[in-house]
Chain A
Amino acid sequence: MKLDARIPEGPIENKWTKHKAEIRLVNPANKRHIDVIVVGTGLAGASAAASMAEMGYNVKAFCFQDSPRRAHSIAAQGGINAAKNYQNDGDSTYRLFYDTIKGGDYRSREANVYRLAEVSASIIDQCVAQGVPFAREYGGLLDNRSFGGVQVSRTFYAKGQTGQQLLLGAYSALERQIAKGKVKMYARHEMLELVVVEGKARGIIARNLITGELERHSAHAVLLCSGGYGNVFFLSTNAMGSNVTAAWRAHKKGALFANPCFTQIHPTCIPVSGELQSKLTLMSESLRNDGRIWVPAKKEDAEAIRQGKLKPTQLTEEQRDYYLERRYPSFGNLVPRDVASRAAKERCDAGLGVNATGEAVYLDFSAAIERYGKTEANIRGLHSASKEEILKLGKDIVEAKYGNLFQMYEKITDDNPYETPMRIYPAVHYTMGGLWVDYNLMTTIPGCFALGEANFSDHGANRLGASALMQGLADGYFVAPYTVGDYLADEILTGTISTDTDAFVQAEKEAQDRIDHLLNNKGSKTVDHFHKRLGKIMWNECGMERSVEGLTKAIADIQALREEFYKEVRVPGKAETVNPELEKALRVADFIELGELMCRDALERNESCGGHFRAEYQTPEGEALRDDENFTFVSAWEYNGDPSSAKLHKEDLNYQFVEVKTRSYK
């Protein structure tokens, strides 16, 4: 198989315009006879479904939640990037493109990233037109904040609920098309198989999660917008239901899976507290605009803090180590996520962690509270304000900016972050890897497209904050509606696709067999039991630091776990009813296979780049050591009967517009 990304020729700033002009269109009368399936209604899926329906296609949209409004995108907090340059701080399409390529540690595809930057500004226009209430300044114009890895202020936000507001905007566009009858919505449905007929994606098998019935749905194109696979680690910041099944099933039917080991571990999450914990909570990166990260400089102090004998507020400035500011003076607390996470792990491994488990660092707002308080006092002309008054003013400002995050933190930990620093630790957050797609966002199965977090294309080995929302909406609103049309131009004479063909019968049988096997298994262990064990293996060996020994052992352990799972798992209840244990079991079965592929991918990549840090490849100062000569490529894995026999293909990345450099944030 030869991988062809089908990147249009020409200078980078003209590629998309030229491509759009040359792309084939489907006339309105023909669109009425073309069906499109959209799996997922997060930012990518809801925007794609609404846009395709507006264009005139018949859309069927699927999600496993009870409403499209509850997709995981709803939880995104901090913001969305766009090269608007409203702040007049030197931002531009090129700068956003460059920051994203650099942030991704030179492992993403230039042409796709440039297009993302290019359409970013339209996203904000579109969302405002839909009534998305972004934060504004007193003058009535849109406000911005900064995110990690960049030196401009280009992040648009709606307090700590940006994902919610953007998703509700896309959801309302979707509901508008549902009301018009152009989208048929299948909520509480889970895709279990992709149906491929004569080499083309022609439909899906979905399980109705209420009746348990397996349904066949056909279409001329299938858009997978099913999100990321961070839950392979069991504990992550993803919603409980986020899973890899839709993408994995497409992979097993022939779609290559790209860079599976590129996982983002987010530096600022609430630390793990106990064995029965079900998920981790993110504290938005926006907090690093104002919060300073530190640990005690001396081990004895850290020890005393862990034992509850010392409070962080009792340590003087000299007794603290603001390690990000120390190591990376130019970006300080705003280094990219992979760098910040590894630095936290390094300090905790050195015995300086600050909670009972030794795996936590401080995120401290006292300096920001004082700074804002002083400015506010000056603005109000309170030149003799007391320290208390200043702090009070400062707290009000901090509350206006981050109130809901502080409240969330307090609810979970019972600690008041206005008075004492937050304790945070890295956690699995996002997956840069995903289905391999070409410039048109089509996978290696003709007619099967992947959008949003489910594809691999834009973030390389590390995603910059506030860029996932941008990518999801770019793909769904502005890219796929054109590029899918180019494919569909060949389908105008196809007519309705029958679901009675062998391919549908066979795909349904495959899903049925999996369900029967799980329900009839007379095992003794719960699904979560296996999921937690898988998560531990992945976190320890394929998490923030990876090594040949660890990965080799992990692969063997996962293979054994898979065998045990099929022998020992117990799934109660029946197939013909609501059965959450069955839903979980089907997902975990796929996660176990994916886990093995992730470890293989990590093992093959003999370099450290972005979120992929191999212990063997680091500088004497502990910085990542990339190997551009041998690894400037996208790994794309072809399924071959088993994850262990998956075949590696390489898409070489030719940087023509950006000079590949060592990434430095010092």
Chain B
Amino acid sequence: MNLTLKIWRQSGPKDKGAMKTYPIQGVEADMSFLEMMDMLNEQLVGKGEEPVVFDHDCREGICGSCSMYINGEAHGPGRGITTCQLHMRSFNDGDTIYIEPWRAKAFPVIKDLMVDRSSFDRVIAAGGYVSVNTSGNTLDANAIPIPKEDADKAFDAATCIGCGACVATCKNSSAMLFVSAKVSQLALLPQGQVEAADRVLNMVHQMDLEGFGSCTNTGACEVECPKGISLENIARMNREFLTAAVSAD
């Protein structure tokens, strides 16, 4: 199929950036979206032009790198997928496709479609862990049975890939879904209980410092989250936060 790509090009953080048009021919339905981008880049390099810069690595929906805003949607059309899992069979011959970076104050653009998501790492560093040293001198793994239901819920929350689609989708650029996923995972497990109050306060504090917006419960994040992280996690975090804030007073 033949397509017209409108792609955000920005040479660096200080550049204003603009959409540029690239026609592309011979795209096959079985190609992934990123393979289509590879094809474009091969052509650009062939002409001595600079290829479009974008983050990617695993190409199977798990590393969370491939942040692209496609036709007004994080990771493009289709639910439960990342950009690297999007296939060109979702498009038709003659389509025009708009491709932009994540846009949020806490995710500044580095170049073209590549953004800086280190704010997420700093939120985790603020408390997204259990404070246990790696000595191996811990309890036997089966010493504390954990109800399967809790373990499964913790697992579901833990599958967040840190892609930032939730932030990019939210009109307030809120990171609540991301933060609540980690808070929930640890809140649901006995190992995470001891520090639960500090954890939620510190992580939320860091989230605010990074310039993420507030949550107004639009639920858009859940719809676009490639891993199906549920809004229940936000509710759980709000409860954790309230309890922690009250007892901290």
Q: Please give the residue numbers on chain A whose beta carbons come within 8 Å of chain B beta carbons, in ascending order.
A: 47, 50-51, 54, 65-70, 72, 74-75, 84, 86, 119, 122-131, 133-142, 158-159, 161, 163-165, 168, 171-173, 175-176, 178-179, 185, 187, 210, 239-241, 273-274, 276-279, 281, 407-408, 411-412, 414, 477-478, 481, 524, 526, 528, 570, 572-573, 577-578, 580-581
Contacts and interface: CB of A to CB of B under 8 A. Distances in A.
Contact of B136 (A119, A136, A165): A119
B58 A75 contact: yes
B38 interface: yes
B138 interface: yes
A277 B199 CA distance: 43
B139 A125 contact: yes
B55 A581 contact: no
A158 B51 CA distance: 38
A414 B78 CA distance: 14
Interface stretch (B141-149, B216-224, B229-237): B141-149
B249 interface: no
B36 to A, nearest CB: 9
B59 A278 contact: yes
Interface in B1-59: 11-12, 28, 30-32, 34-35, 38-39, 42, 44-46, 48-51, 53, 55-59
A241 B110 contact: no
Interface stretch (B116-124, B165-173, B238-246): B116-124
B114 A578 contact: yes
B142 A274 contact: no
Contacts of B152: 133, 136
A70 B130 contact: no
B127 to A, nearest CB: 8
A581 B53 CA distance: 9
B155 A159 contact: yes
A279 B59 contact: yes
B63 A276 contact: no
B96 to A, nearest CB: 21
A159 B227 CA distance: 14
A523 B111 CA distance: 25
A164 B133 CA distance: 20
B89 interface: yes
B146 A210 contact: no
Nearest to A64: B57
Given A65-B57, A187-B118, A408-B60, A131 B191 contact: yes
Given A54-B133, A65-B63, A172 B124 contact: yes
Nearest to B112: A578
Given A125-B141, A274-B31, A72 B132 contact: no
Contacts, number: 216
B59 A50 contact: no
Given A133-B189, A526-B42, A164 B62 contact: yes
A28 to B, nearest CB: 14
B87 A411 contact: yes
B129 interface: yes
A123 B162 CA distance: 25
Interface of B: 11-12, 28, 30-32, 34-35, 38-39, 42, 44-46, 48-51, 53, 55-65, 80-81, 85, 87, 89, 110-111, 114, 116-118, 120-121, 124-126, 128-136, 138-142, 145-148, 151-152, 154-155, 158-159, 161-162, 185-186, 189, 191-192
A570 B49 CA distance: 11
A146 to B, nearest CB: 19
A137 B51 contact: no
A276 B136 contact: no
B60 A51 contact: no
B133 A136 contact: no
B27 to A, nearest CB: 9
A133 B64 CA distance: 19
Contacts of B133: 54
Contacts of B124: 69, 171-172, 175
B50 A176 contact: no
14 contacts: A74-B161, A126-B135, A128-B139, A128-B141, A130-B130, A134-B151, A135-B155, A140-B148, A140-B151, A163-B62, A276-B31, A573-B50, A578-B53, A581-B45
A129 B51 contact: no
Given A129-B191, A411-B81, A478 B148 contact: no
Given A70-B57, A136-B146, A572 B49 contact: yes
A164 B159 contact: yes
B30 A273 contact: yes
Given A131-B186, A134-B151, A274-B30, 9 more contacts: A54-B133, A69-B162, A72-B57, A75-B58, A125-B136, A136-B145, A172-B124, A240-B56, A277-B35
Contacts of A122: 136
Given A133-B151, A411-B87, A67 B130 contact: no
A129 B130 contact: yes
Contacts of A159: 155
A130, A163, A273, A277 pick with most chain B CB within 10 angstroms: A130
Contact of B57 (A51, A158, A241): A241
Given A74-B58, A126-B134, A580 B53 contact: yes
A165 B158 contact: yes
A178 to B, nearest CB: 5
Contact of B45 (A126, A133, A138, A572): A572
A86 B142 contact: yes
B121 A67 contact: yes
A66 B189 contact: no
A139 B134 contact: no
Nearest to A183: B125
A51 B183 CA distance: 24
Contacts of B162: 67, 69-70
B191 A572 contact: no
Contacts of A279: 59-60
Contact of A129 (B60, B138, B158): B138
B147 A140 contact: yes
A50, A178, A572 pick with most chain B CB within 10 angstroms: A572
B53 A477 contact: no
Contact of A75 (B12, B38, B44, B62): B62
B142 A577 contact: no
Contact of B126 (A74, A125, A129, A179): A179
6 nearest CB pairs, A to B: A140-B145, A122-B136, A172-B129, A133-B155, A129-B138, A179-B125
B155 A477 contact: no
A127 B159 CA distance: 16
Contact of A175 (B46, B48, B87, B125): B125
Contacts of A175: 121, 124-125, 128-129
Contacts of A47: 134
A164 B155 CA distance: 11
A84 B143 CA distance: 13
A163 B81 CA distance: 19
Contacts of B191: 128-131
Contact of A577 (B28, B80, B111, B185): B111
Nearest to B56: A240
